[in-house]
Structure formats: C-alpha cells, structure tokens
Amino acid sequence: MCSVKGQSRSLAIYRWQGLFPNVHDTIQRDILLGQVRMTRRPVKGSARSRSVRDVAAHAGVSVGTVSNVLNRPDAVAPATRARVQRAIAELGFVPNESARQLRGGHSRTIGLVVLDVGNPFFTDVAKGVEDAVTEAGLTVILCDSAEQVEREYRYLDLLEAQRVKGVLITPVEGVSKRLRALRQHDIPVVLVDRFASTRNVCSVSVDDVYGGELAAAHLVEQGHRRIAFVGGPFGLKQVQDRYDGARRIVLRAGLPEAALVMVEVPALTFQSGLAAGARIAEMTPGDRPTAAFCANDLLAVGLLQEMTRRSLRAPDDLAIVGYDDIVFAAAAAVPLSSVRQPREQLGRAAAELLLEEATDGANHRHRRLVFEPDLVVRDSSDLSVAARPAPPLDALADGTRAAAGNEETGGSVETDRGA
C-alpha cells in the first residue's frame, strides 16, 4: 500500500517507478476503503483466499443471498443478514470491492493526475478534489506525472484499466489524443489548472496573464526598472501566460522590453530557484535586476535562499514576488509576496464538474471556469526604491487583462453543449 504522510486515508497515491510496465500485469490493483492494495496469490486457508461460496456454505445460505448482503443488504431478512455477516467475520472474508464495482461498469474512484505531487500547490488542489469526491462517496487515486508525457500516459493506461469514474488532470501537453481516447471510452475528463482550448472538454483554470500583470505592476509601482522573470519551461502554458502578463505591464509602463530580463529554468522547483539565484547574484551590479518575479513560489523560495546565502538581502538588493501563495510563502525567513491562486477551490470545482458529467452523460453542458488570482504583498517586495516616480498600480493594471475567449473570470462560466 502506498501512503503519503499528512494525507487522509481516502487519498490513495500510486508512484509509478517501473513496477508496472504493462497495465495488463497479472497483479490486480484493488481499491478498497480508499487504500491501494496489491493482491498477491492467496495463501491456502488465509482470509484472503475465502470466497463467496465459502461464506455461503458457512452460513448455510445460497451464494445469491451472500451477494445480496454485500450489495443490497435491505433485500435480506435481518436474521439471515446477521447470520451471513457473522460468517463473514468468522472467516475473515474480504470482498473484492474492485471486481464488484467493475462488474457494474465503473469503479467508485476518480483519477487525479498532477505535474508534481511534491509541489504544495497540487497538494492543496488535491485536498479540494478529495473533499468534493468524498462527499459523493468516492475515493481518489493521485498520480504524479513528473511533467513527463510518457509517465502521464502510463498512468492514464492504468486508470483506464481500472475503469475509473473519471479523470482530473493537469496535462503535460494540451488535450492529447490519449485524453480524447478516454472520453471515447465513456471516461469523463476535466482539465485542472489548464484552460481547455477545445469546447468539448470541461476545464478549471486561473487567469495567469492577469496574475502576471498583478506581480509586475506591483514591482513597477515600487520603482523597479529592471525586473527578472524566473520561470520555465515555456512549454507550460501557465509559465508563458505569467510572462506575457508581466511583459504587458513593462511595456505599458513605457519601459523597454529588455527591462524584463529572462532567467529561464528547466523546472518549477526549489532547486531551479537556487540555480536562478546564483545566476542573478553573479551578474554585474549594472546588469543585475533589482526585482524578480518567479513563476511559482518554489522558485521564489529557492531564489530567496540563494540570495541570503550570498549575503544579498530581500527586498533591498532584490525584491521578490512568487506565484501560488503556498503555505511556505508566508513562513519564509523573509515573508514572500505572492500571487495567490484559489487552490482548494480549483480542485473542488474541477471534481464537481467531473461528477456532473459522469451523472449527466450526453446531456452534460461543458463549462470552462476561470478564476481570478490576487496579489498578497509581504516583506520580500515591500520597498520604496526610488527617486523616480512610479505609476500607480491601478493605472498599470486597468484595462490590461487578457480576455480568455468569451469566458468570464471570477468563477463565471461559459457553457457548451455536446462532446
């Protein structure tokens, strides 16, 4: 059984490490009471080897009666039901919940595939998903793609083999052929923290262009005229959108495009933040930015630590703004300014859309929800640098938001019929 410290028992986590190269392995993956259990060959005489027939013989009833007790207990007389339940307890019989559910067409589980389970942003999203799914009497399998397409596809193979009720996913790419294949097999898919470019898939996302605008407008307002953008890879739409928003503010402020210094990193991780901090610290004082906008908080915390190690102070030597507002942001040695995303709300909204689609079937109206982020200003960027006057924040941000097609933000939705 896989487990993660701090997560509730109903949040089952597979970590794919080459243990299951083929989803058709003879190992059965049973999901029971919210735990992932690997069913090995039963030991003779063990509780695991007991069958429904054994229970029926022990209780002196038919196999059908045992089945009714397990699946429709109200259909069995109380005395008979008690006798069967006593037999189950005495034999230590464990029902194969996975097999029972699959006979009904779909399991009682939802698959959640994220880019990095170690990122607190996705932990909070998963909490929102789990809250909604648990209320519906289902469980969650959380899968970590590690931003690798091949690994993501292996998880999707596994989830499809389990006939999950639906898949929530932050895809490495967009709506791939693999995701379309799931939907063709009647497994609903909802994109999480991604805006669906196609109208036949539900999605829940944040207006990241606007988030980039908020961060850059704050830094320009503070008087900064050379700002580093720390982020990557740019194949991730969130990174590109946050950069685009920051660039828009820099140009609106009348600064040259070169005022936004690109510091590209290979991943949105703490280690990448450390490396970015070293690159910025080693720039000559005349070239070094006075502020940095990081594409997520893990980068920002790494950047802040490296600056501190090199005796450079935030915000005096380098003002820093992150993105996500994870719990570590406020708890950093220098509390970190950050663009806050409604993380748990994202997860809950995505799960509710998925459950809605699973229930409505062909009558479901696909929706794309877009939430607004907001800026939380803390010590890492709270500085009046300058002698030069800076335009006010409202003047910079006003009218610069990018429209996401015809969608409205702040949780409003656009509906589209059909798949």
- Convert the pLDDT of each residue in 93-113 to its tens digit: 877 655 555 555 557 899 999
CA distance 240 to 157: 29
Alpha helices in 232-378 (DSSP H): 237-252, 270-281, 297-309, 327-331, 343-360
Which among 165, 125, 130, 169 has a CA at the least distance from the CA of 149? 169
- Which whole number is the average pLDDT over 235-242? 92
H/E stretch holding 323 reads strand 319-324
- Which whole number is the average pLDDT over 269-281? 97
Q: What is the pLDDT of residue 285?
A: 84
In 349-408, DSSP assigns E strands to 365-371, 374-376
Amino acid symbol at 411: G
Q: For CA atoms 236, 238, 242, 248, give the dihedral sign.
A: positive
Backbone angles phi, psi at 29, to 5 degrees: -110, 100
Q: How many CA atoms lie within 13 A of 179 on its CB side?
A: 24
CA distance 109 to 380: 42
Which among 350, 164, 33 has a CA at the least distance from the CA of 155? 164
Amino acid symbol at 67: S
Q: Which residue has the higher pLDDT, 205 or 4?
A: 205
List b or e across 369-381, with b for residues whose CB sees 16 or more CB atoms inside 10 angstroms.
Answer: bbbbbebbebbbb
- Convert the pLDDT of each residue in 355-397 to its tens digit: 999 988 888 899 999 999 999 999 999 865 333 344 454 545 4
Count CB-CB contacts under 10 A for residue 24. 8
CA distance 36 to 22: 17
- Convert the pLDDT of each residue in 31-44 to its tens digit: 333 333 333 333 34
Backbone angles phi, psi at 338, to 5 degrees: -160, 150
pLDDT exceeds 70 at position 203: yes
Ranked by mean pLDDT, which of 26-30, 147-151, 284-288, 296-300 comes out on top? 296-300
- Give residue for tokens 């993380």: 343
CA distance 320 to 381: 5
Q: What is the pLDDT of residue 24?
A: 36
- Convert the pLDDT of each residue in 139-185 to its tens digit: 999 999 998 999 999 999 999 888 899 999 999 888 888 998 888 88
Q: What is the pLDDT of residue 103?
A: 54
3-state secondary structure of 395: helix
Confidence of residue 400 (pLDDT cuts 50, 70, 90): very low
Q: What is the pLDDT of residue 100?
A: 57
Mind giving me the DSSP string for 55-100? Answer: HHHHHTS-HHHHHHHHH-GGGS-HHHHHHHHHHHHHHT----HHHH
CA distance 259 to 196: 32
Q: Which of 21-30, 115-124, 137-146, 250-259 has the lowest average pLDDT?
A: 21-30
- Which whole number is the average pLDDT over 218-227? 96
Mind giving me the DSSP string for 214-253? Answer: HHHHHHHHTT-SSEEEEE--TTSHHHHHHHHHHHHHHHHT
- Convert the pLDDT of each residue in 50-91 to its tens digit: 788 999 999 999 988 998 888 788 889 999 999 999 999 888
pLDDT mean across residues, the chain: 81
Q: For the chain, what percent of residues have pLDDT higher than 90?
A: 60
Q: What is the pLDDT of residue 61?
A: 94
Which among 321, 278, 325 has a CA at the least distance from the CA of 119? 325
Q: What is the pLDDT of residue 302?
A: 97
Q: What is the pLDDT of residue 206?
A: 96
Q: What is the pLDDT of residue 355?
A: 95
